[in-house]
């Protein structure tokens, strides 16, 4: 390497005589100063100096060259920022890229180890900055490349994994903040021990595990599945192990970001809106917490509590489990005998941690089983690859760590058990049934048609529902097991009551607590709404949606059985002067974000595109940790892939939350839910109801009041009653701003929920909201009145005959 004095001399010389820089390449006679950039051949990426967020420090980085929002994808000197604009980048004769400060000192350099003859540095259209010999276009011969040193972002072609021959690891690390690209405490790596799998670390401790690759996907990341945007691949050969993604359409802009929260984000640039779209998010619920349930425990996000022991196991320290501390895990009820052991088959789960596993690619499943049986230390086995009927063998030799239920995962795992633990249970018949995967341990008794349905892969669950409805309607039962669970619907077990009827707390025979919605004979929710709720919610699985466990129809009785949400509904807190004190701003912001993620799942990520149509505070339930779960899907409607809106002659919803186009014309779409969400946000921030809001200075509702304060530059006054602490004021302002964007009068102006989630999660500048809809009480009264009057039909508008007030 050049000596420092020579480097300073060269630096000064280049300031005097500067050679013209080619578009995408520099050589040893050229350099880049702050304010200059080089651009890849197609203009896709640009390299130069920038300041992230609100920072005034200068960094050498790569960003997108063709989009309006400067978005960095790689930073060179992330740990050593420049304090001024004096930075200069040059390429040495040895092939080293160096970044010099005002005094000529090197503050960052590439670490090329191979000597160069005639090096050049080139920014490729893939976003990769490479140092290579001039004229050599074989990237495998490059002397150095930025793709080997990711920051917090992966772009198509980047890898997370290991080069087996060189020992180089490719990994990502979060930024400390949007203003500071230095290394945060979240790292994404590939663990090469045992059978390799991806792991997320927080302060060097496991935070989230992707699960082993099964030939189609990672068993713990079902959201990473074939889709129209990107192709994903896991490569494991004698040279390297890595995971990578590529776009179907290379002209699009796509990035995978590891934020400081640890919630991995897949983000797509939308040209039409000139904005980033949050396409999907990993690590979406508490069951993603590494080893939450300890050894031999299994996490089920829809159960309460979420942790249980695997069948045949029991808590190691029961008193800890009683306190919801599951870290001690579970132990076998019956010790293994080795000579008389068998296997219990389990499906629909995330495979256990594989760091202490063994695998063989050529074995079939029977050979795998026999290999496990011959080794008394082997605790479980499965196929390595589930494609084409299955192949390969994966064995575990220790406790089974970090398992959770995943209905979407069709991989079987066979868990070693003593023969005495494998006797099949005898089922009984009654009219209650549960909706889980086909061999769910929760199905303790069902109607006979349901048994046939669940074990017949040619029938969908919805087809089964119709059969079971008929079965349950005609069976004779002296007393429903649901009645047993609720102490015969005792008043002391009653949780509350709505227009649909009462809700009771119940306890199943296995100790699990449930909530039973018993539809009264005078309920506004009839059989159609009842079936509609079952049809929609049975297919949904998300931490921010309430989980339907079962249902029952017996003569005039119609009941829905849910997971118990002990902290009741959101309106129980935010509109009560005393109980609202239990919701500080971090809890409120968590609730806002949770509702947003739940809606995003309904609108975009679920198997059905679902419009809720009755989103309101009373339909947001709170779990033990005050996390929100959207409930009541009686009015929900599903859309096909190409549908964007529909109309109805019966507008059903709740005053104060219904969007203008729905109330006035019966038109509903995803943007109808967005409007309701905006109202919810303003109510959560302020602690006031939208409908019935009163202010001495005007006759507007809460939406109108928020709009006036925003226009006058006084939006924080909306949260005056919430006593928000100073560190959270920016989140309050952002929430109010997003809420007003959601309640804009024109549905086309409202953001979709993916953009809402993105806006809530970063500090980018937000668009200015336009006039909201329904910002006076009179708006609602007129809509209610007009919806009952006949309207002339048109090609795009239906007449609205009924508006159900709630």
Residue 570 confidence (pLDDT) above 90: yes
Where residue 186 falls among pLDDT bands split at 50, 70, 90?
very high
Where residue 427 falls among pLDDT bands split at 50, 70, 90?
very low
- Phi then psi dihedrals of residue 619, to 5 deg: -100, 15
Averaged confidence pLDDT in the chain: 80
Residue 180 confidence (pLDDT) above 50: yes
- Across the beta sheet with 144-145, what order do the strands follow? 25-27, 119-123, 129-133, 144-145
Where residue 645 falls among pLDDT bands split at 50, 70, 90?
low
* Residue 335, token pair as written in the block: 């010790």
The H or E element containing residue 131 is strand 129-133
pLDDT at 510: 58
Distances (CA, A) of 572 to 626, 673, 719, 805: 12, 22, 18, 20
- Is the separation of the CB atoms in 437 and 407 below 8 Å? yes
Of the candidates 345, 335, 172, the one whose C-alpha atom is nearest the C-alpha of residue 242 is: 172
Rounded Cα–Cα distance for residues 66 and 46 (Å): 9
Domain 1-149 classification at class level? mainly beta
Of the candidates 455, 331, 352, the one whose C-alpha atom is nearest the C-alpha of residue 409 is: 352
The H or E element containing residue 620 is strand 620-622
Residue 119 confidence (pLDDT) above 90: yes
Residue 377 confidence (pLDDT) above 70: yes
Of the candidates 189, 188, 193, 162, the one whose C-alpha atom is nearest the C-alpha of residue 355 is: 193
Per-residue pLDDT, averaged over 196-213, amounts to 94
Residue 532 confidence (pLDDT) above 80: no
**pLDDT winner (highest mean) among 326-330, 422-426, 476-480:** 326-330
Every domain of the chain with CATH number 2.90.10.10 lies at 1-149
Cα three-residue angle 798-803-805, rounded to 5 degrees: 160
- Is the separation of the CB atoms in 84 and 55 below 8 Å? no
pLDDT at 536: 60
pLDDT at 528: 64
Span of 79-93, 125-139, 541-555 with lowest mean pLDDT: 541-555
Instruction: Establish whether 614 is a catalytic residue.
Output: yes
Cα three-residue angle 293-295-299, rounded to 5 degrees: 30
Of the candidates 13, 10, 200, the one whose C-alpha atom is nearest the C-alpha of residue 98 is: 10
Q: Would you tell me the crossing angle of helices 729-742 and 670-686 to the nearest 10 degrees?
A: 140
pLDDT at 236: 93
User: Which of 614, 632, 673, 779 does the annotation list as catalytic?
Assistant: 614
Q: What is the pLDDT of residues 496-519, one digit of tens each?
A: 665 566 777 777 665 667 788 777
Domain 433-563 classified CATH 3.30.70.930?
A: no
pLDDT at 550: 74
pLDDT at 788: 41
Question: Structurally, what CATH architecture does the domain formed by 571-804 represent?
Answer: Orthogonal Bundle (1.10)
Residue 664 confidence (pLDDT) above 90: no
pLDDT at 473: 32
pLDDT at 800: 28
Where residue 630 falls among pLDDT bands split at 50, 70, 90?
very high
pLDDT at 782: 52
As beta bridge partners, residue 385 has: 391
Residue 117 confidence (pLDDT) above 80: yes
The H or E element containing residue 595 is helix 585-600
pLDDT at 179: 93
Every domain of the chain with CATH number 1.10.510.10 lies at 571-804
604 against 11, higher pLDDT: 604
Every domain of the chain with CATH number 3.30.200.20 lies at 433-563
Positive or negative: CA dihedral 663, 665, 666, 671? negative
pLDDT at 13: 42
Instruction: Please report where in the chains the tokens 């089920």 appear, as a residue.
Output: 300
Rounded Cα–Cα distance for residues 676 and 614 (Å): 8
Span of 11-25, 39-53, 700-714, 751-765 with lowest mean pLDDT: 11-25
pLDDT at 721: 61
Rounded Cα–Cα distance for residues 175 and 155 (Å): 16
3-state helix, strand, coil in the chain (%, to 5): 25, 30, 45
Of the candidates 724, 720, 690, the one whose C-alpha atom is nearest the C-alpha of residue 583 is: 724
Q: What percent of the chain lies above the pLDDT cut of 70?
A: 77
- Is the separation of the CB atoms in 604 and 278 below 8 Å? no
Per-residue pLDDT, averaged over 11-38, amounts to 71
The H or E element containing residue 518 is strand 513-519
Q: What is the pLDDT of residues 157-178, one digit of tens each?
A: 999 999 998 899 999 999 999 9
Per-residue pLDDT, averaged over 601-627, amounts to 85
């Amino acid at each position: 390497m050049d000596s420092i004095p020579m480097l300073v001399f060269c630096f000064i010389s280049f300031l005097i005589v500067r050679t013209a820089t080619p578009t995408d390449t520099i050589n040893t006679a050229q350099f880049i100063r702050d304010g200059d950039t080089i651009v890849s051949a197609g203009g896709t990426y640009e390299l130069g100096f920038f300041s992230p967020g609100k920072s005034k420090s200068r960094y050498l980085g790569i960003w997108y060259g063709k989009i309006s929002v400067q978005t960095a994808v790689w930073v060179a000197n992330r740990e050593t920022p420049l304090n001024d604009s004096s930075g200069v980048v040059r390429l040495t004769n040895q092939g080293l890229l160096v970044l010099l400060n005002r005094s000529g000192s090197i503050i960052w350099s590439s670490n090329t180890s191979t000597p160069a003859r005639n090096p050049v540095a080139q920014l490729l259209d893939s976003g990769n900055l490479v140092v290579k010999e001039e004229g050599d276009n074989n990237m495998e011969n490059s002397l150095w490349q930025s793709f080997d040193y990711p920051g917090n972002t992966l772009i198509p072609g980047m890898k997370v994994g290991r080069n087996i021959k060189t020992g180089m690891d490719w990994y990502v690390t979060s930024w400390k903040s949007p203003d500071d690209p230095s290394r945060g405490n979240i790292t994404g790596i590939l663990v090469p021990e045992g059978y390799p799998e991806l792991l997320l670390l927080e302060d060097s401790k496991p935070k989230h595990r992707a699960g082993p690759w099964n030939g189609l996907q990672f068993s713990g990341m079902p959201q990473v599945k074939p889709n129209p945007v990107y192709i994903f691949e896991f490569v494991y050969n004698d040279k390297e192990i890595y995971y990578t993604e590529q776009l179907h359409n290379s002209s699009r802009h796509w990035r995978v970001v590891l934020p400081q929260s640890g919630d991995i984000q897949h983000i797509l640039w939308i040209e039409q809106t000139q904005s980033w779209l949050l396409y999907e998010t990993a690590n979406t619920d508490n069951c993603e917490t590494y080893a939450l349930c300890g050894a031999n425990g299994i996490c089920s996000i829809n159960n309460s509590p979420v942790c249980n022991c695997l069948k045949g196991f029991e808590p190691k320290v029961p008193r800890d489990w009683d306190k919801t501390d599951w870290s001690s895990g579970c132990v076998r009820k019956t010790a293994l005998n080795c000579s008389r052991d068998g296997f219990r088959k389990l499906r629909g789960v995330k495979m256990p941690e594989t760091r202490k596993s063994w695998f063989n690619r050529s074995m079939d499943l029977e050979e795998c089983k026999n290999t496990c049986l011959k080794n008394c230390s082997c605790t479980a086995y499965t196929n390595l690859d589930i494609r084409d009927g299955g192949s390969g063998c994966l064995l575990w030799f220790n406790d089974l760590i970090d398992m959770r239920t995943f209905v979407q995962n069709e991989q079987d795992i066979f868990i070693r058990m003593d023969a005495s633990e494998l006797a099949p249970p005898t089922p009984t018949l009654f009219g209650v049934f549960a909706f889980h995967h086909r061999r769910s341990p929760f199905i303790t008794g069902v109607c006979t048609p349901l048994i046939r349905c669940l074990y017949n892969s040619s029938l969908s669950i919805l087809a089964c529902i119709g059969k079971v409805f008929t079965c349950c309607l005609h069976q004779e039962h002296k007393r429903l097991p649901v009645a047993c669970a609720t102490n015969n619907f005792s008043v002391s077990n009653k949780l509350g009551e709505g227009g649909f009827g009462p809700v009771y707390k119940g306890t199943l025979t296995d100790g699990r607590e449930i909530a039973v919605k018993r539809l009264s004979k005078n309920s506004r929710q009839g059989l159609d709404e009842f079936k509609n709720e079952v049809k929609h919610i049975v297919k949904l699985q998300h931490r921010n949606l309430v989980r339907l466990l079962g249902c029952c129809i017996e003569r005039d009785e119609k009941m829905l059985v849910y997971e118990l949400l002990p902290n009741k509904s959101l309106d129980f807190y935010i509109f009560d002067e005393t109980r609202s004190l239990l919701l500080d701003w971090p809890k409120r912001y968590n609730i806002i974000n949770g509702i947003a993620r739940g809606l995003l799942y309904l609108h975009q990520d679920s198997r059905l595109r679902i419009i809720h149509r009755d989103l309101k505070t009373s339909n947001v339930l709170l779990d033990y940790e005050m996390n929100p779960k959207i409930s009541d899907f009686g009015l929900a409607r599903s859309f096909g892939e190409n549908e964007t809106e529909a109309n109805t002659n019966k507008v059903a919803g709740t005053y104060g939350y219904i969007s203008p186009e729905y109330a006035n014309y019966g038109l509903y779409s995803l943007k109808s839910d967005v409007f309701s969400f905006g109202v919810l946000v303003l109510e959560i921030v302020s602690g006031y109801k939208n409908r019935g809001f009163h202010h001495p200075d005007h006759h507007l509702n809460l939406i109108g009041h928020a709009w006036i304060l925003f226009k006058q530059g006084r939006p924080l006054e909306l949260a005056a009653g919430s006593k928000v602490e100073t560190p959270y004021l920016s989140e309050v302002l952002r929430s109010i701003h997003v809420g007003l964007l959601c309640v804009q009068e024109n549905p086309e102006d409202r953001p979709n929920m993916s953009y809402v989630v993105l806006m809530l999660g970063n500090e980018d500048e937000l668009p200015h909201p336009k006039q909201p809809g329904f910002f006076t009480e009179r708006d609602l009264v007129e809509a209610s009145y007009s919806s009952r009057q006949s309207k002339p039909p048109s090609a795009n508008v239906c007449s609205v005959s009924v508006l159900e007030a709630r």
